[in-house]
Every structure is written in structure tokens, then in C-alpha cells.
Amino acid sequence: MRLPIGCAVRELTTHKDPRGDLTEIFRDEWESGIEPVQWNFVRSQPNVLRGVHVHVVHSDYLVCLDGTLVLGLADVRPESPTHGMSTTVTLKGSKMQAALIPPGVAHGFHFPEPSTLCYSVSHYWNTVDEIGCRWDDPALGFDWQVREPALSPRDTTAGTAAEMTRQYLAVREQLRAGRD
């Protein structure tokens, strides 16, 4: 599977027995690319689409626990060797995998059926780090195979992918300048 550089999909091992099953979804000692500060649990109705969003600061590490997550990934980092690459990856609760999304990789989550997701972040939520665009902007290059998904008001009124990238770069510059 080809992914934007810095993204990763890890196969998780599910141990089954007559009682049910157990899956280790995260270990500190794994080279997962993230040191989580927070874990969230999200339930989604069928045909919900969350995103598209991109972050300047924080990484996301996510596991679909139940149902199906179609994860769209698009690299908007101008300096990246995989700049412009976009792909979709399907994660399922029936065969668990963990996906890492670094800063600068725009992402959207589509749930074709009722689904649950557990995810961690490397930094606490910050409005400055929440930048988004319309999920169906053709410039993203996603083949969602989705019609009229349920969106949040914010995602419904989001701008273009080009505007998102400009904002991503502007915030990145501000944060870098602030660190100097």
C-alpha cells in the first residue's frame, strides 16, 4: 500500500477465545510515531463523513473498533517527496489496524455503516490547528464513492482545498516564527 510519507498502517493482533477477544491497540514501545496525550472515542451514524481536515501541529493515531472507516489521505506538504499523493484506506473493526496521520496530511473519515473509532492525538486540541476544506473538492483526488454524506455545519461550509493549503502554510509559518 502506497501512503503519503509519514503515514503508516499497522496490523493489530486480535487474540480470540470463547469469551470474546482482546487486541493491543497501542504500546509505548512500538515505533508508532506518536506519544499520545489524549484518547478519544467516537461513534458515527451510517454515511457520516468527518473532514476534510489538516493539522499543523498534531498527529492522529486511530483504530476502527467496529464497523468500517474509509480514510482519505492527501499530502499537502509542499516539501514532501509524496506531495500531492492522495489515497483512501479502508479500516474495519473485524480486522483491526492502526493508522498514523502526521501533520500536513489532510484527512477525511467516511463511515458507510454504524461505526466506532478510538483515536489518540499527540497534542491537545487547539482551534488554530483545525484547518479544513470541502470533502468533495476534486483537487483532493479522493475517490470517495459516496453521495450526500452527513456532515457537520463546519465541514459543510468549508472552503476549497487550495484555501486549506494556503491556511495550513500560513499557520505553519506563524508557529515557526513564534518559536524563533
For its own copies, the closer CB: 4 or 108: 108
Instruction: Convert 121-152 to b/e letters by CB count within 10 Å (16 or more is b).
Output: bbbeeeeebebbbbbbbebbebeeebeebebe
For its own copies, the binding residues in 98-137 under the rule CB under 8 A are 116, 118, 120, 124
Select from 113, 150, 160, 169 the one that contacts its own copies (CB under 8 A).
150
Select from 48, 70, 106, 133 the one that contacts its own copies (CB under 8 A).
48
For its own copies, the closer CB: 26 or 144: 26
Q: Does 23 bind its own copies (CB under 8 A)?
A: yes
Cα dihedral 87→90→91→95 (10° resolution):
-130
Cα angle, residue 37 at apex, residues 16 and 60 outer, rounded to 5°: 70
For its own copies, the closer CB: 21 or 180: 21
